[in-house]
Structure 1
């Protein structure tokens, strides 16, 4: 279940800041977090990823969680990654992987500085002391509250990186229901559970996670259990049909193949989305489409937005 870090992540790894704990709950959370990390690492040492998966799945209900966004103290806020005068502004969700970070979207935001605002929003629980969302409702309502405050009637689009595409779509659907629809939804190489491509790519990403830890920072128990919580709540989630124009930006290179190895057919690994959308392929794999090719990906998104605003 541990996914490799997303493109744009700083080599030092995500900062493990301390959020505001809540007495006995916070102490209990730390006990779970520390125990899970040790058990998950031991499972990997034994080559028993199945046991590691069981540890993570069974840890979710032991994490402190929230149902009402107002319960969250010291939770993530929207972070501006780039500033520009052109509308609509972009509000993005990073992945929900073990190395989830606002840094994932920096490589796309940097080329757009001076053109469009680009914002990023993490979901709660990846920082020690923060609760995780109890379910999709809680996660979506947490994000909705912050997004509504930020946009205040101004045009915007939502975006989601990798597994962040699921929460981006869910929030888009809810905004439509409230008469506050975004101008567009941008899915950046987003996969959904239950598809052939997902069954191919997830084990490949997981197999790389431990070896990449030396470059991208420690897989802490906090992050492992947060990832397990969000992956679990979206496992059987299905996106509702929306009217918002949707763009799927896909990597054109398969992640994890060795030099000289033949790339498998695209339908076996390339990102897919079950609802109507436009698709654009950009250079790079799941990670290098941003890190190394962020300017191309940013240009593709910008051109699509400009065309839809014309």
Structure 2
């Protein structure tokens, strides 16, 4: 009997079941390394372990041919995970997951279809049936296994795909251990204990169905908004509203409102309006606490420490977006995709969401009747319920009066200089802060990766609001080195921008000094953020705290000069987005970016003793279209090392982030 991927915890459970319950006496286990597991010697059966890459057709053919006697049954357990949101998927990441799962299953099918097998069992995943955020590649691979099982049965061959949920095993290196628990258990799907798994496997193998989903369910949770719609028929009472446990809060009125809260789209507005104005933010904080617990998989929301940073509690970029989607749905207020990173504690996030509700007119400030904004239409309710951005109150997405729509129209019809002028002009309406006020306006750093190597302090671009968070780049360094995002002050509701370059540089320099590390960090800046990174590193060096280095990712020195044609063209490339993306833009970020462009206008880099690396990306198609014969190679006027990247100006942070990380790693180690 052949078990691929059979040397781990799931393989152990399966092997023990087959030997004890099915009387199997010969087992052939495969794994990528060929390591013989400790438990194999304790089985009352002959166990052979072979290293085999099942994604290699020739290796699978050789494996099956080497079996004497030929295998009587095949169990395909091999697989890996490489989770991430859809826009971070690359051909390599798809291949990493599809090869062992889908290719391996097909190779086994073709190599054994004439052997007269008694069983051909594929360990699939409920991700392919129910869907699971952040696992598009894994869901596709397992969907293929389910289809293959049906294909074999249709051709008279034995097959069964078991779409498991997460297993709780003693093997902390298994796939389930590498998937965030919130993504595994959200929406009513519970983990499978080892004992339950064996019983479910035994029951499944006694059925003739080609595809089964052996998962335990919490039917109460399966009625919530996070539950897959395919589970709706299993819920006894199919209602849009369901009660959630919420801990007590100090004020009885607020607690009553919170306990009565429901998860229907926009429901928090009505509940908060019933609470006295002075108590409303406390009530809102408790509502948010429950959603934080749900996203992170905490059974008791009261156990969440309110003052701990969300990243310390276990948030990553995907779960941060999940929480933001919940809050947008329940408040029907547009919240920025990075809101959880920008307001990284429960009190800060509650204050921001409360301010957004007040600004939207969604809740009164004095307890009077809540106005009904124009966005509270049936269409916007459906949109919020789907987990996408809720429309901005009083301003439908197609409204011509949104700043982002006006900006994009000017950019398209008049050009980048005029569009940037619009952002400059609008930014004069923003408040500013001076060096004396910097401490109050500094944004706490957000740690996006963990590790023991030279830490990275990442300073983002400020021109494009869609490229501020280096999520995919951080994933490349997770487990290797800390990566901190140093967000610029002023990007968010009710924030001021710095009054000049000196204020901005000192604010960021002090944030770098305060990072919780004993090692000097390397400061990385992307695009226009590279100019700020250089200036911050220079200040740190002159104050006796030099960083390990400065890395400029596709930073064009001429971008800050309004009369530089390359700078204008790059500005256009950074801002020229498809029409269907314009509605995702955050108006306040566009205006704040205009304020930063004023701060850095005509700035020139000054000599610095800090070692510098310039990573040069390829021009984007838009850049070539704008100036086919233009010199798009990034230039830096001061001494530096340089390296070319295979990615373009935008892909260096997402699709080609692995190459960018490798270049950074090579320079730091060299």
> Do they fold alike, i.e. is TM over 0.5?
yes
Moved over 6 A (4+): 7-13, 17-21
Could you tell me which of 198, 205, 212 is aligned with 2:574? 205
CA contact (8 A) 2:408 2:582 kept: no
Could you tell me which of 56, 81, 85 is aligned with 2:423? 56
Task: Kindly state the Cα deviation for residue 208 of structure 1 after the two structures are TM-superposed.
Answer: 2.6
* 1:14 equivalent in alignment to 2:383: no
RMSD in angstroms over aligned alpha carbons?
A: 3.4
C-alpha distance 177-255 of structure 1, shift in aligned 2 (>3 A)? farther
C-alpha distance 170-71 of structure 1, shift in aligned 2 (>3 A)? closer
Q: Report the counterpart of residue 282 of structure 1 in structure 2.
A: 645
CA contact (8 A) 1:39 1:52 kept: no
- Residue 187 of structure 1 aligns to a residue whose secondary structure is strand
Q: Report the counterpart of residue 473 of structure 2 in structure 1.
A: 108
CA contact (8 A) 2:404 2:585 kept: no
Query: Which segments of 5 or more consecutive residues in structure 1 lack a partner in the other structure?
Result: 1-6, 28-33
- Residue 298 of structure 1 aligns to a residue whose secondary structure is helix
Cα distance in 2 between the residues matched to 1:132 and 1:161: 19
After superposition, what is the alpha-carbon deviation per residue over 1:80-125, rounded to whole angstroms, capped at 9, x for unaligned? 1111112x2111101112416652x222221111111111101111
Cα distance in 1 between the residues matched to 2:665 and 2:429: 42
Structure whose CA Rg is larger? 2
Written as runs of structure 1 = structure 2, the 5 A alignment for 1:179-190 is 179-190=544-555
After superposition, what is the alpha-carbon deviation per residue over 1:39-88, rounded to whole angstroms, capped at 9, x for unaligned? 563464463456544332222232111013645546421111111112x2
CA contact (8 A) 2:464 2:590 kept: yes
* 1:160 equivalent in alignment to 2:483: no
Q: Report the counterpart of residue 405 of structure 2 in structure 1.
A: 41
C-alpha distance 212-275 of structure 1, shift in aligned 2 (>3 A)? farther
C-alpha distance 284-98 of structure 1, shift in aligned 2 (>3 A)? closer
C-alpha distance 52-101 of structure 1, shift in aligned 2 (>3 A)? closer
Cα distance in 2 between the residues matched to 1:298 and 1:102: 17
CA contact (8 A) 2:458 2:485 kept: yes
After superposition, what is the alpha-carbon deviation per residue over 1:243-270, rounded to whole angstroms, capped at 9, x for unaligned? 1110011113434268xx8x945x6112
Q: Report the counterpart of residue 293 of structure 1 in structure 2.
A: 656
Calculate the TM-score normalised by the size of structure 2.
Answer: 0.38
C-alpha distance 71-289 of structure 1, shift in aligned 2 (>3 A)? closer
CA contact (8 A) 1:14 1:99 kept: no
Task: Kindly state the Cα deviation for residue 181 of structure 1 after the two structures are TM-superposed.
Answer: 0.8
CA contact (8 A) 1:196 1:268 kept: no
C-alpha distance 38-297 of structure 1, shift in aligned 2 (>3 A)? same
C-alpha distance 186-153 of structure 1, shift in aligned 2 (>3 A)? same
Cα distance in 2 between the residues matched to 1:69 and 1:295: 40
CA contact (8 A) 1:200 1:268 kept: no
After superposition, what is the alpha-carbon deviation per residue over 1:100-154, rounded to whole angstroms, capped at 9, x for unaligned? 6652x22222111111111110111111111111111111111112111115652
C-alpha distance 209-64 of structure 1, shift in aligned 2 (>3 A)? farther
CA contact (8 A) 1:282 1:296 kept: yes
CA contact (8 A) 1:253 1:283 kept: no
- Residue 118 of structure 1 aligns to a residue whose secondary structure is strand
Q: Which has the higher contact order (CA 8 A, sep 6+)?
A: 1
Calculate the TM-score normalised by the size of structure 1.
Answer: 0.79
C-alpha distance 275-55 of structure 1, shift in aligned 2 (>3 A)? same
Cα distance in 2 between the residues matched to 1:235 and 1:110: 33
Task: Kindly state the Cα deviation for residue 278 of structure 1 after the two structures are TM-superposed.
Answer: 1.1
C-alpha distance 78-255 of structure 1, shift in aligned 2 (>3 A)? farther
Q: Report the counterpart of residue 586 of structure 2 in structure 1.
A: 219
Could you tell me which of 119, 124, 129 is aligned with 2:484? 119
Cα distance in 1 between the residues matched to 2:479 and 2:408: 45
* 1:147 equivalent in alignment to 2:499: no
Cα distance in 1 between the residues matched to 2:576 and 2:488: 25
Written as runs of structure 1 = structure 2, the 5 A alignment for 1:23-102 is 38=402, 41-42=405-406, 44-45=408-409, 47-49=413-415, 52-68=419-435, 70=437, 73=440, 75-86=442-453, 88-99=454-465, 102=468
Query: Which segments of 5 or more consecutive residues in structure 2 lack a partner in the other structure?
Result: 1-86, 89-316, 326-335, 360-394
Cα distance in 2 between the residues matched to 1:164 and 1:235: 13
Cα distance in 2 between the residues matched to 1:177 and 1:303: 27
Cα distance in 2 between the residues matched to 1:257 and 1:197: 9
Q: Report the counterpart of residue 234 of structure 1 in structure 2.
A: 600
Q: Report the counterpart of residue 173 of structure 2 in structure 1.
A: none
After superposition, what is the alpha-carbon deviation per residue over 1:152-177, rounded to whole angstroms, capped at 9, x for unaligned? 65221101011111110110111111
Task: Kindly state the Cα deviation for residue 206 of structure 1 after the two structures are TM-superposed.
Answer: 2.7
How many corresponding residue pairs? 283
